[in-house]
Amino acid sequence: MHYMQVPSQVEYERATSVDHALSLLSRPDTRVVAGGHSLIPMMKLRLAQPEMLVDINGLAELAYIRLDGNQLRIGALARHADLLDSAVAGEHFPIFHDAERVVADPIVRLWGTVGGSLCQADPSEDLSAAFAAARATAVIRGQDGDRLVPVREFHRGPYETVIGRGELLAEVRVPVQPGTGSAYEKVARRVGDWSVAAAGAVLRLTGSRQNPVISSAGLGLTAVGAEHFVAAEAEAFLLGQTPGEESFARAGAIAAEHCHPVADQRGPEDYKRHLVAELTARALRRAAARAGTGASKSAGART
């Protein structure tokens, strides 16, 4: 027997402007299509059955990555490949380059978007953890203007975000602070696969070079049931600590204790907890090496 996977009947409109997209999105059962790498497969499996798709691929005004004052601004339509190529993103947040190197494969990265990744709200999405670690803000646009939502409050749960009818994600803003280093560490079963577990760290060090102190810590986890992709207890522990093997190992242990992985085809629960402890410590080590040394482009970076 021959099976076909095809989406059910759907109307399609190509948005000609953000305002046009927003007015189309005010209709019921209407979804944005960006890269389509998650939505189209879900439609084929009938896990999503929108009545209308609004294609935003023509909206060049949503495709940018730039530094604006002390914020890195990433348009929702920036592709994974754009973020990986962005020198300004890599300079201030090597965590995004680390993460993008291990998101899917080059074909998916060429078309999949930053906005689509966050809005898909897959519990294994890499950028959700990276943006949570960086304490980014989502800019949600509606016909009445923009509202700003911390990325840490953006996901309501698996495959669900705070974006409402008539709205779209327009931009992600990341605060840039001096003395900050960041890194992302992921274990997958094979190249291009989703995470078994992954951890991202953004560390700010103050004090002297001889006596550095952790003055802010962001820790993101993916694929392990961390609430809002955040290792909050480990972050709280790190504040005021001396960066080093001891505090990083302790933070990893705390992160492992407080996440909620489930056993699945990617591995048993205790293995995932082990990975969280180890990957958190590794990400912290590399983030610290990159912090405040101007070496964010190279220290600890892999090629």
The residue ranges that bind ligand FAD (CB under 6 A) are 31-39, 76, 103-104, 108, 112-113, 115-117, 119-120, 125-127, 163, 168-169, 194
Smallest distance from ligand FAD to CB 112, Å? 2
Contacts of 259 (CB under 8 A, 6+ apart): 221, 224, 225, 226, 231, 272, 273, 276
With a CB cutoff of 8 Å and minimum separation 6, the contacts of 294 are: none
Q: How far is the CB of 42 from ligand FAD (least distance, A)?
A: 8
C-beta closer to ligand FAD: residue 14 or 250 = 14
115 is written with which tokens?
């906005």
8/177 with CB nearer ligand FAD: 8
Cβ proximity to ligand FAD, 39 vs 132, nearer residue: 39
Q: Please, which residue, 113 or 180, has the CB nearer to ligand FAD?
A: 113
Closest distance between ligand FAD and the C-beta of residue 88, in Å? 21
From the CB of 273, what's the least distance to ligand FAD, in Å? 20
| Nearest distance, CB of residue 177 and ligand FAD, angstroms | 25
**Among residues 33 and 133, whose Cβ is nearest to ligand FAD?**
33
